[in-house]
């Protein structure tokens, strides 16, 4: 498993922000419910995503060494006007610009507060890349628009998600995390449309000692197969397992068990 590199994450944040802005500017109804996040409208989703980017920009720019309160972050909630696509788009554009500028200026190794065991600005560049990638999928689904993502970014998003689950299971084993593990539990993810050198397959073992995972082709109790983007969205609960793009082989109940508990 290899990280994409700080400059690439910064480039990807710029791209993902532009693509999210394109959804806002598409004429989509901002009040429509996001099917994958039914508590949010499309506008609420965009405001949440932009607010997260603003929050991280503040952490990076100020070199914060402890959690930051939302009220400390300028314009974290977005424009005052509701339902104004132009204002929302302008706010999102500015948000992306200031975040990327802060990340590029800091580089990947500047020490800052973070919540998953990696206390540097590189963590936040990677985290915001995938925060954007998944919420852009939410936005595209809500607006009925197509969604695509670079294969190496999709693969890295799966890596990061597995690292987060492993970290939480090891350091903060709440009830849902504790329930994940047990004898004979393993999951195989298999992207069917990528070049061999990307090695877009994963084996996840839910051992009694914790969550262990690695890249590669191995037999497991259950396998999730399909194009990489579909596997990513299925694993993030953005695409139903019954979708035509996905195939589940083996103990489907185990995969459903994982998806119900391995959530943010």
What is the chain's mean pLDDT, rounded? 94
Domain co-membership, 101 together with 10:
yes
Residue 102 lies in a domain: yes
Rounded (10°) CA dihedral 214, 219, 223, 229: 40
Domain co-membership, 130 together with 207:
no
Return the SS3 of 225. Answer: strand
Domain co-membership, 13 together with 113:
yes
Domain co-membership, 48 together with 125:
yes
Q: Write down the pLDDT at residue 177.
A: 59
Residue 15 lies in a domain: yes
d(CA 119, CA 65): 9
How many separate domains does the chain show?
Answer: 2
Q: Which residues contact 152 (CB under 8 A, 6 or more apart)?
A: 4, 198
Residue 154 lies in a domain: no
Q: Flag whether the pTM goes above 0.75.
A: yes
Given a cut of 60, whether residue 2 has pLDDT beyond it is no
Domain co-membership, 37 together with 128:
yes
Q: Which residues contact 141 (CB under 8 A, 6 or more apart)?
A: 34, 35, 36, 147, 238
- Domain holding 195, by residue range, is 172-261
CATH number for the domain that contains residue 223: 3.30.1050.10
Q: Which residues contact 15 (CB under 8 A, 6 or more apart)?
A: none
Domain co-membership, 238 together with 194:
yes
d(CA 160, CA 255): 18
- The larger pLDDT score, comparing residue 168 to residue 239, is at 239
Domain co-membership, 12 together with 137:
yes
Confidence of residue 169 (pLDDT cuts 50, 70, 90): confident
Domain co-membership, 51 together with 138:
yes
Domain co-membership, 135 together with 20:
yes
Domain co-membership, 224 together with 138:
no
Percent of the chain with pLDDT over 70: 95
């Amino acid at each position: 498993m290899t990280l994409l590199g700080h400059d690439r994450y910064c480039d990807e944040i710029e791209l993902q922000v532009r693509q999210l802005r394109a959804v806002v500017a598409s004429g989509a109804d901002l009040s429509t419910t996001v099917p994958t996040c039914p508590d949010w409208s499309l506008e609420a989703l965009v405001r949440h995503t932009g607010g997260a980017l603003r929050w991280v920009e503040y952490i990076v720019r100020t070199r914060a060494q402890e959690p930051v309160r939302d009220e400390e972050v300028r314009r974290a909630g977005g424009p005052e006007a509701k339902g104004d696509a132009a204002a929302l788009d302008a706010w999102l554009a500015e948000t992306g610009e200031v975040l990327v500028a802060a990340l590029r200026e800091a580089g990947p190794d500047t020490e800052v507060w973070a919540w998953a065991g990696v206390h540097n600005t590189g963590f936040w560049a990677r985290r915001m890349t995938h925060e954007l990638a998944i919420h852009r999928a939410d936005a595209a689904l809500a607006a009925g628009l197509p969604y695509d993502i670079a294969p190496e970014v999709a693969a890295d998003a799966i890596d990061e998600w597995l690292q987060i689950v492993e970290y939480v299971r090891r350091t903060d084993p709440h009830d849902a995390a504790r329930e994940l593990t047990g004898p004979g539990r393993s999951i195989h993810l298999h992207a069917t449309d990528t070049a061999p050198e990307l090695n877009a397959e994963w084996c996840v073992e839910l051992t009694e000692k914790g969550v262990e995972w690695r890249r590669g082709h191995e037999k497991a109790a259950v396998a999730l197969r399909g194009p990489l983007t579909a596997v990513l969205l299925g694993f993030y609960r953005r695409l139903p397992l019954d979708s035509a793009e996905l195939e589940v082989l083996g103990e489907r109940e185990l995969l459903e068990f994982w998806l119900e508990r391995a959530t943010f």
